[in-house]
């Protein structure tokens, strides 16, 4: 992960949206704006999607090209300084892909997360041994890098248990997640017990979508995480809700209202069809015993 991509995620995204709106209002395409600024179109895309921090001087130049009012230019130059702030995960920059740096920043800032996972235990719920077994599945990684990635995953979990304003999490998991033995029987049993323990926390709710349900909405949605952010006032959010979709070759960040509404409705349909929280915990405990009993 390069130095340019580190920084405070939410201010980066806010600044990118403001600059994209200014460019659009100026009736400039990305191609034309990039030529005027003597930048590449790829750099323009990274700026407008919050993938990179910005210097105040760069923002001043963009505002001049876009014809922004003086007071807005000054405000955006101040916001640019906030994009330089670094989160705790900066220390793990050597093992964080560029696209995942953005995700971790959003995850850290989110007030609530709703996740559908059909194949694996979500990273925020994984035990170190389960996480290690998953990460070790990549044959290109050396043991030292595996250790670093496990540490990063465990560090991320602090947002679940922090004393001040812990994140609210709701996760719907396919029953395959329970039945798939990852890392061996003992590792999997401990992981299932961990899920049952987490389900007792007031800010965590985990439900299982049973095989007996048959076809359900999750088959259409696929895996995703819906992130919602704390409000800045009675009606305005710091950040719009964002859906994160991890693909084999990269990630998608969706924040258009229509996209959010579809995924929110999809999660509700999956959640309502799943087992209750209590029945899901009972399933975790029962499956854990079956893993280790002869």
Closest by Cα among 82, 81, 72, 71 to 21 = 72
Q: How far apart are alpha carbons 268 and 156 in whole angstroms?
A: 25
Residue 256's pLDDT band, with cuts at 50, 70 and 90, is confident
Q: How far apart are alpha carbons 154 and 122 in whole angstroms?
A: 12
Number of residues that make up the chain: 294
The residue whose two tokens read 């309502």 is: 272
pLDDT of residue 4: 38
Closest by Cα among 60, 71, 76, 74 to 18 = 76
pLDDT of residue 97: 57
Residue 173's pLDDT band, with cuts at 50, 70 and 90, is very high
Q: Which residues pair with 251 in a beta bridge?
A: 246
Residue 36's pLDDT band, with cuts at 50, 70 and 90, is very high
pLDDT of residue 94: 54
Name the range with the highest mean pLDDT among 62-76, 104-118, 175-189, 211-225: 175-189
Q: How far apart are alpha carbons 192 and 198 in whole angstroms?
A: 10
Mean pLDDT, residues 123-141: 92
Lowest mean pLDDT among 26-35, 55-64, 243-252: 243-252
Mean pLDDT, residues 245-249: 79
């Amino acid at each position: 992960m390069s130095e340019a991509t580190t920084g405070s995620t939410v201010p980066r995204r806010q600044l990118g949206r403001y600059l994209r709106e200014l460019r659009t209002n100026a009736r400039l395409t990305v191609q034309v704006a990039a030529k005027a600024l003597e930048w590449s179109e790829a750099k323009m895309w990274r700026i407008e999607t919050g993938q990179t921090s910005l210097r105040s001087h760069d923002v001043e130049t963009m505002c001049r090209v876009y014809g922004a009012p003086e007071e807005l230019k000054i405000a955006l130059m101040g916001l640019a300084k906030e994009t330089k702030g670094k989160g705790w995960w900066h220390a793990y920059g050597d093992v964080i892909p560029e696209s995942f740096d953005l995700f971790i920043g959003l995850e850290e800032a989110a007030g609530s997360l709703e996740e559908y996972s059909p194949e694996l235990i979500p990273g925020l719920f994984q035990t170190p041994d389960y996480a290690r077994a998953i990460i070790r599945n990549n044959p290109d990684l050396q043991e030292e890098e595996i250790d670093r990635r496990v540490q990063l995953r465990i560090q991320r979990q602090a947002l679940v248990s922090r004393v001040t304003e812990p994140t609210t999490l709701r996760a719907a998991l396919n029953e395959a997640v329970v039945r798939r033995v990852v890392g061996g029987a003992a590792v999997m049993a401990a992981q299932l017990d961990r899920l049952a323990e987490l389900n007792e926390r007031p800010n965590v709710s985990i439900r299982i979508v049973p095989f007996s349900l048959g076809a359900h909405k999750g088959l259409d949605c696929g895996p995703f995480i819906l992130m919602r952010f704390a409000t800045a006032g009675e009606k305005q959010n710091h950040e719009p809700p964002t859906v994160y979709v991890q693909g084999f070759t990269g990630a998608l960040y969706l924040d258009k209202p229509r996209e959010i509404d579809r995924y929110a409705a999809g999660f509700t349909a999956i959640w309502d069809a799943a087992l209750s929280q209590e029945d899901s915990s009972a399933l975790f405990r029962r499956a854990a015993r079956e893993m280790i009993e002869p």
